[in-house]
Structure 1
Amino acid sequence: MADWDDLKVFLAVARGDSLSRAGRVLKMDAATVGRRVTRLEAALGARLFSRSPQGYGLTDEGARLVHHAEAIEAEMERAREALSGPGEGISGQIRIGAPDGCANYLLPQVVAGIVAENPALEVQIVALPRVFSLTRREADMVIAVSRPEQGRVIATRIADYHLSLAASTAYLADAPPLDTLDDLRTHRVIGYIPDMIFDRELDYLADLGVEQAPVTSNSVSVQLNLIRQGAGVGVVHDFALPATQGITRVLTRTFRLTRAFHLVRHADDRKVPRIERFSQALVAGMRAEIARLEAQVHQQATA
C-alpha cells in the first residue's frame, strides 16, 4: 500500500522527468528520491517509470497513477484548508506563469495587493515568453492569450486588452511622416522574432501588413525599451504605457488591436480552496488594473 509521502515523490518525478529536478523541489537528494520511487514501485507491484539517459518517463501504469495521485493531492489540500479555517486568508505557495508583458506591467501591482491582504501567501511569478505545461506542474496557473483547445484544464476569460502602435517622441521628431499605415514602409518596425512566436495571437505584423521587422525581440519588455530608445515604431500594450516615459501612440484612429487574457488552471484544482480563492482575487484584480491603466492612457490622449 502506498503512502502519501511516496506519492508526493512520485508526482515530483513525473513532473520533473528526473530525480535531480524532483529532489530540488522536494529538498532532498536524488538518491533518496530514487529509493522512494523504487519503494513505491515495489509496494504497488508495478513499474512506474522507464529509465533512460534522457530522464524518467512515465510508463502506462505510471500515467494512470498520476491522475489518482493528483486527486489525493487535491484532497490533502482541501483538508489543510478546512483545518486552517476560512478566516486565515490565503496561504502557501502559488506559482503563476505569464507572458512577460503581463508579468511586467500588470501582475506586480495586482499581486502586491493580494499578498498585502494575505501575509502567509507566497507568490512566484514566472515571466517567460512561451507556453507553460500545467500537466508537468511548471505552474499552478497560467495567464494565456489564446484559450486552450485541449487538455484537462479550466479557462476563465479575464478581460480584453488593447494594443497600439507607438514610438518615442525623439524618434518621431526626426523620422519621416507617419500619417497612414502605408507610411510604415519608410520606418523601422520593431516586433517579435518570427520563429519564436509561441501564440498566433502575438503575430501583430500581419495586422500591420508588414512582412518582416528589422528590429526584433522575443520579449515585450525589450521591444518596449527599443521603442523608448528610438529604434523604431512598434506595437505596445496600452496598459504598459503609463509605466514608460517618452513614448506616444501613433495612428490611433486607424490601428488598434484587441486581445484577451485567460486564466488557465489544471482541472483537478477546481476544488482546491486556496487555488480557487487566489484565482478569484487575481481575475478581479487584473480586470480592475487593465481598466484603470487603459483609462489613464485614454485620458492622456484626450487631454
Structure 2
Amino acid sequence: MDWDKLRIFHAVADAGSLTHAGEVLHLSQSAVSRQVRALEESLNSTLFHRHARGLILTEQGELLFDATRSITKRLDAAAARIRDSEEEVFGELRVTTTIGFGSLWLAPRLSNLYATYPDLNIDLMLEERVLDLPMREADVAIRMKEPSQADLVRKRLMSVQMRLYASRAYLEKKPAPETMEDLRDHRLICQNTTSEQVSAGAMLVRELLSYELPNLLTVNNYFGCLQAVHHGLGIGILPDYVAIDEPGLVRVLPEVESNDVPVFLAYPEELRQSKRIAAFRDFVVTEINAQRKKAQMRENA
C-alpha cells in the first residue's frame, strides 16, 4: 500500500476536508482528491461519504483511519527518540495534567524552565481526562493518582491535601468558623461532587455538605474556586499547594482536611532516555523542593 496515499488520506480524514488537508500538505485540492480516489480504487472501497458540509468517513474509512493514526503516533515517537539523541534539549514536549494543578501550580513556574531551556516548546494540555501516554496522546503526565499502565515510568512527586481557606479580607468582615456548625454562617465554595476530581476531594465535599450548609457555590475546577475565594465570596476547598504561593489566604478549621492525594509524574517507557522529559522532570522536582522549603520557612516564622 502506497504510504504517500495513506499519508494524504490521514490528513483528509483528520481535517474532514480536501481543502484543509491540502493546506496542511501544501498540495492543491485536485491533487489531494486524485490521491484519495486512487487509494479508494486500489482498495476497491469507498472511504468517504461526500456532502456539502465536508467529508465523513465510511465504516471502511474508519478502519483505515484507526490504522494510520496508530502508525502516525509510532512515527512521532520514533522522531522524538531521534531528536532526543542530540545533546541539546529542544523541540515540543506535550505535558498533560489537571486543570487545577496545571493552571495554579505548573503554568506560573514555566518561566524557570524556559530560562534554562529556551528552545523547549511546551504544549500544556489541561483536562481531567486521563490521556493515553503509551498511545502518545501526550509525552509526559502529572497525575493525581498512580498510573495503572504497566509500560510507564512513574515517579511519586509529593502528596496533596484539600483544606479550607478564606481570604484575609473576607475574615476581616466575618469571623472565622470555630466549629463545623459555624460553616452554616458562611458560603462554601467547592467542586460539585459530580464533577471530575480526585476521590479524596469529593469525599471532603460530601462530608461538609452533610452539615446542610444553606449557602453554596460550586465550580468545576480549583482555579475558579480560588478566584471566588480571592473575591471574598466565602470559604473554599482548595489544594494545600495553592496556599503556599498565596499569602492572602488563611486556613480555617485546621482539623478539616482530605486524605493524602499522591501526585505522580509518568511517561512512556520508550521515552526513558528522552532529554526533554529528563529536563522537565528535574525542573518539577526542583520546584517542588523549593516550595517545601518556602512552606517550612513560613511555619517557622
| Map of 1:72 onto structure 2 | 75
1:96-129: CA deviation from partner (whole Å, max 9, x where unpaired): 2222222223323553333333332211223345
Query: Aligned partners of 2:6, 2:266: CA distance in 1, in Å?
Result: 25
Identity over aligned residues, as a percent?
A: 21
| Map of 1:279 onto structure 2 | 277
Query: Aligned partners of 2:174, 2:196: CA distance in 1, in Å?
Result: 28
Change (3 A) 1:135 1:119: same
| Map of 1:160 onto structure 2 | 158
Aligned residue type for 2:92: Q
Give the drift of 1:224. 0.7
Query: Aligned partners of 1:126, 1:142: CA distance in 2, in Å?
Result: 9
Query: Aligned partners of 1:90, 1:298: CA distance in 2, in Å?
Result: 33
| Map of 1:240 onto structure 2 | 242
Query: Aligned partners of 1:244, 1:25: CA distance in 2, in Å?
Result: 46
Aligned residue type for 1:73: D
1:254-286: CA deviation from partner (whole Å, max 9, x where unpaired): 425421223344x4x72485xx32222223322
Map residues 177-188 of structure 1 onto 2, 5 A cutoff.
177-188=176-187
Give the drift of 1:167. 0.7
Query: Aligned partners of 2:207, 2:272: CA distance in 1, in Å?
Result: 43
Aligned residue type for 1:165: L
1:16-40: CA deviation from partner (whole Å, max 9, x where unpaired): 4734898499475894796487268
Aligned positions, number: 292
Change (3 A) 1:43 1:300: farther
Map residues 1-303 of structure 1 onto 2, 5 A cutoff.
1-3=1-3, 16=14, 18-19=16-17, 23=21, 26=24, 31=29, 35=33, 38=36, 41-42=39-40, 45=43, 51=49, 55-56=56-57, 59-82=62-85, 85-86=86-87, 89-108=88-107, 110-132=109-131, 139-149=138-148, 154=152, 156-163=154-161, 164-197=163-196, 199-203=198-202, 205-206=204-205, 208-211=207-210, 214-265=216-267, 267=268, 270-271=270-271, 276-303=274-301
Mean alpha-carbon deviation: is it higher for 93-102 or for 199-208? 199-208
1:4-24: CA deviation from partner (whole Å, max 9, x where unpaired): x6555555566x473489849
1:200-220: CA deviation from partner (whole Å, max 9, x where unpaired): 454254464325771121232
Q: TM-score, structure 1 length as denominator? A: 0.74
Query: Aligned partners of 2:38, 2:265: CA distance in 1, in Å?
Result: 35
Say whether the 8 Å CA contact 2:97–2:126 is kept in structure 1: yes
Query: Aligned partners of 2:164, 2:284: CA distance in 1, in Å?
Result: 23
Change (3 A) 1:254 1:28: same
Query: Aligned partners of 1:17, 1:135: CA distance in 2, in Å?
Result: 24
1:160-209: CA deviation from partner (whole Å, max 9, x where unpaired): 23232111122223335522334333321111134432554542544643
Change (3 A) 1:131 1:169: same
Query: Aligned partners of 1:176, 1:95: CA distance in 2, in Å?
Result: 45
Query: Aligned partners of 1:176, 1:207: CA distance in 2, in Å?
Result: 24
1:93 counterpart SS class: strand
Change (3 A) 1:126 1:74: closer
Mean alpha-carbon deviation: is it higher for 200-209 or for 231-240? 200-209
Say whether the 8 Å CA contact 1:188–1:232 is kept in structure 2: yes
Mean alpha-carbon deviation: is it higher for 103-112 or for 40-49? 40-49
Query: Aligned partners of 1:28, 1:93: CA distance in 2, in Å?
Result: 22
Query: Aligned partners of 2:180, 2:46: CA distance in 1, in Å?
Result: 58
Mean alpha-carbon deviation: is it higher for 63-72 or for 226-235? 63-72
Aligned residue type for 1:227: V
Say whether the 8 Å CA contact 2:134–2:151 is kept in structure 1: no
Query: Aligned partners of 1:173, 1:246: CA distance in 2, in Å?
Result: 12
